[in-house]
Chains A and B, each alone.
Chain A
Amino acid sequence: MGRTVLVVDDSATIRLQAGRALSKAGFRVVEAVDGLDALEKLAGTEEIALIVCDVNMPRMNGVELVEALAARGSMPPMVMLTTEGHPHLIQRAKAGGARGWMIKPFKPELLVAAANKLIAA
């Protein structure tokens, strides 16, 4: 199974931090700066095995991305990586098909463990 992870965040810091943690664990990492950029990357030829996605982003936020992919009927496993903690938002993402929720700042080993678990599932 492919091990390419799409990291979606408008913060270069988070893309770098998450990207380094995943790369060290053997994943190939592709980056997107918001939901619309993520959709463009997903339309490319590379098969994405997992999406790690922020919630608050310009143009298209993370929950909107979940819902857009759900509407298309095609969504790799998706973990939200965010400062958001409102239960209503979490439920909305879960209902859209997101597989997990992680609060920033995050432990790199937890992110890698989640990636391994969700890609293997």
Chain B
Amino acid sequence: MEDTSLAESLLLAAVPPLFAPTRDVVAGERTYAPPTEDGLAASIGFGGADMNGALTIFGVPASLRVFASVVFDLEAEDDALLADMVGELANMLLGRYRNALLREGVEVLSATPVTTRGKDLRVGHGRRKAQRSWYAFRDESGHALWITLDVAFREGFVFGGPDQDAASLAPQEDELVLF
């Protein structure tokens, strides 16, 4: 599989478990931009020796409140807390993505998320020209979370296949390990 496609597929596979088992979220349409209506976008960068980029999520406030309440079991009492929740959602999704990459033998570090609110939000391209797709994930009520991935690879890099050692050592999401 071509590396950008694998990089994207690893991210897309990480989305539904973030909301399970409380809510079924499935991948829906694919477009070149998120909706133009008022919404919040959270972007978080990542980088390592083999690849770097940014993950961005977008949603309208009503939908983001639903998704945030599923993950955090909290209601966003004000816009500031909602913005923080969206940033933390992006952070958690990147965390799952990073662990998926680690299981493929790729290590990346993460930055801190930045959240923006507005209409017709657009995310600029990185240094390298990249074709970006936005994927809509919808729950059974039709609430949508839009996700996109910017990624660039080290010249000559190819995914080497699953790293069984890394997979066996990394803790799973929701897991508690006491030393």
**Looking at chain A's contact residues, is the secondary structure mostly helix, strand, loop, or mixed?**
mixed
Taking a contact as CB atoms closer than 8 A, the residue among B72, B102, B179 that contacts A86 in the complex is B102
Interface residues of B, dominant DSSP? helix
- Measured CB to CB, the closest approach of chain A to B27, in angstroms, equals 20
CA distance A17 to B69 in the complex (A): 11
Query: Complex: how many Å from CA A98 to CA B94?
Result: 24
Shortest CB-to-CB span from A31 to chain B, Å, is 13
- Complex Cα–Cα for A33 and B72 (A): 18
Q: How far is the CB of A63 from chain B (nearest CB, A)?
A: 13
Interface size on A, residues (CB 8 A): 36
Across-interface contacts of A16 in B (CB, < 8 A): 74, 81
Q: Tell me, yes or no, whether B66 is within 8 Å of chain A by CB.
A: no
Contact B171 A103 (CB under 8 A): yes
Nearest opposing residue in chain B for A93, CB measure: B179
Stretch at the interface among A6-14, A41-49, A68-76: A6-14
Q: Residues of B with Cβ closer than 8 Å to A? A: 18, 68, 71-74, 80-81, 84-85, 87-88, 91-92, 94-96, 98-99, 102, 107, 110, 112, 166, 169-179
